[in-house]
Amino acid sequence: MQGDRRSLARTLTALENRTITLDEIKTITGEHQATTEHWESLAITGAPGVGKSCLLDGLLTQWAGSGLRVALLAVDPSSPRSGGALLGDRVRMTVVDHPTLKNNVYLRSIATRKASGSVPLIVADMTEFLLILGWDRVVIETVGAGQAEVRCAAIADRILVVEGPARGDGVQAEKAGLLELADAVIVNKCDLPGAQRHADELRESYELGTGTPPPVLLTSALHGTGIENASTMLLELASSGRSERARWRERLLAHHERKILESPQLDDFLEKLASGYMSLDDVIQSIGANKNE
């Protein structure tokens, strides 16, 4: 609460490891007073290779330079075989080394661990904790576009989808349902052929749908093109209303999943399921009974 970075890191680790809960923290810090003037959390998602991290580095530089204190939670996938994660997003973030801007930026890498979606459930608690401590905005960089990417709708106020000039990226986002939920779309790498055409196709596609179409911008993180305009637009980004139903659906599913993953008997239940001693319905009923106790 006094700004100690090591203390902040250790508390986030304790949250991630479940050795402390957000409710326990709130007994010390008090509740977070949410504001309705602007968004407080932004999920950035898109296919691997479209330049999310480099684009984000440019956006953070702009926001930190304007005096905003922004925290970034960068999610990396865990290996299904070894359980390890590279946690390499920080390598691309030059803003954290800037002598005058680094105090306005906090970067934390998070492994997906057991989470079935691309965003681990604990990110919601970590986001609220950072807001309680007075960070102005929290940005969540998800793993990459895929069927599970909709989970970001459950924990963020706004959703930004980043695309590249290749149409294949758009197909992946459409398959995941992300373009339907996006509050804004940025086509990065606009210096490459096909970027303008892809942006025009997206705008035409949105015009055919219902509701207010989200803004579609062109940027080049490599050359800095459009970064300033994008940072200004995103700060004032209003909700498109396109993701409200999906957001509450995912929150409901996440709440149910969390009960299962946090059960102290999870490993025992898995063993009994594998041996045929219990059925899936038996496990769900047992977890529900334990919670009621």
User: Tokens standing for 161?
Assistant: 């989808």
Q: Please give the pLDDT value at position 142.
A: 82
Once rounded to an integer, what is the mean pLDDT over residues 214-242? 92
Contacts of 78-83 with CB under 8 Å at 24 or more apart are 78/111, 78/112, 78/113, 83/113
Once rounded to an integer, what is the mean pLDDT over residues 166-172? 57
Mean pLDDT of the chain: 82
User: Tokens standing for 35?
Assistant: 């504001």
Once rounded to an integer, what is the mean pLDDT over residues 176-186? 79
Helix (H, G, I), strand (E, B), or coil: what is residue 74? strand
In our burial notation (b when 16+ CB lie closer than 10 A, e otherwise), range 252-287 reads eebeebeeebebeeeeebeebeeeeebeeeebeebb
Q: Please give the pLDDT value at position 118.
A: 42
Q: Please give the pLDDT value at position 153.
A: 64
pLDDT band of 110, cuts 50, 70, 90: confident
pLDDT band of 277, cuts 50, 70, 90: very high
Does pLDDT of 167 surpass 50?
yes
The amino acid at 231: S
What backbone phi and psi angles, to 5 degrees, belong to 236?
Answer: -100, 15
Continuous segment of H or E residues that includes residue 184: strand 184-187
| Euclidean distance between CA atoms 139 and 200, whole angstroms | 27
Write the CB contacts of 193 (distance below 8 Å, at least 6 apart in sequence). Answer: 165
Choice among 54-68, 81-95, 115-129 with the minimum mean pLDDT: 81-95
Model pTM score: 0.82
Q: Domains of the chain by range and CATH?
A: 5-242 (3.40.50.300), 263-292 (no CATH)
